[in-house]
Amino acid sequence: MYSLRTQLGGAGRQTGERLTLHPPAKVNLTLEILARRPDGFHELETLMLAVSVCDTLICEPTDDSKLHVRCQWAAGLLAQSIEIWQPLPATNDNLVWKALERLRIAAGVTRGVRVDVIKRIPAQAGLGGASADAAAALLAANAVWQLHWPIERLAEVAAQLGSDVPFFLTGGAAVCRGRGEQIEVVRAPRCSLVIVRPPTGLSTPAVFKRCQPSSPRQAASDMLRDFARGDSAAAARALHNGLQQPAEQLSPWISKLRRAFETTGCLGHQMSGSGSSYFGLCWHVGQAKRIARRLRSMNLGAVMVAETVSTTLQAAAKASQQV
């Protein structure tokens, strides 16, 4: 679901360049809370996978010096559930706008840009939608403004925006450490998933406030080893999220979703990130579709079928610069 289309207005004029990226959601297959840091954040280790639920970000330069950012839900979503597809942040509070502003200041750019974001990834869901959009905005603006910054330099800006943003510059799959900014890219396993975002979201700071650091379980390395040898069932047994217990204290939906997934026959299941989305790993896409139909009948929220993706936003944006 990472893809890009480049359109040139006129005879290849750079001022007419228009880029379209599809930033993906993510799920956390493991999430270990190791310690509280002096800066108030938490030391963690997490195995994250990009999945095929995605937003769309369209970026083009403008003739003025302003940042024009517009975000809206994809057509039809608001009719499904007004509780889930809630109002989006105002322009200056939007992480895409903040990403563009930080990059423009860091690069000394005076040109403007217009960015339209069509949202499909639910908010307050632990799926990283805002972070993915911010990473896509950095990559698209880097191409449109012809900065030619390497990914390492963009990652410095990304780390200032949020813990998950650096992952989306490199993802399909990675073990992320520190605050999330230390990225070890790994081979993405092929998985089919069912993801449910319940009617209410969760605040990331509120969930982290209740979490307790624990000893590392080596869950990420165990899981990657099992995936590499083709043992998906053993990999699913290594699923772990150290934030799920505090999230269950804050929202009854987490335990309700856990009980619902226990009846589905999927390989394994847990909450993603700080919630409130919950996902199950499935044997194959056919099983995922059957489970999704069953969960939709239970009125648990927005139900999505997804698969892991391995192509990166970075590769898509780089391809645009070669057009």
Would you give the DSSP letter of residue 308?
B
**Amino acid identity at 122:** P
- What would the two tokens of residue 200 be? 């209410």
Give phi and psi for 308, each to the nearest 5. Answer: -70, 150
Q: Token pair 């608001």 is at which residue?
A: 78
Annotation says 222 is catalytic: no
Angle CA 248–241–156, to nearest 5: 115
Annotation says 164 is catalytic: yes
Which positions ≥6 away from 287 have C-beta within 8 Å? 192, 265, 266
Nearest to 158 by CA among 175, 138, 173: 138
Strand 67-73 versus strand 268-271 pairing type:
unpaired
Question: Of the listed 26, 98, 119, 133, which one is catalytic?
Answer: 26
Interatomic CA distance for residues 37 and 202, integer angstroms: 22
* Class of residue 209 by CB neighbours under 10 A (exposed 0-12, middle 13-18, buried 19+): exposed
Give phi and psi for 94, each to the nearest 5. Answer: -80, 135
Question: Of the listed 55, 98, 119, 164, which one is catalytic?
Answer: 164
Interatomic CA distance for residues 27 and 197, integer angstroms: 12
Q: Residue 185 forms beta bridges with which residues? A: 174
Task: Assign 68 to helix, strand or coil.
Answer: strand
Active site residues: 26, 164
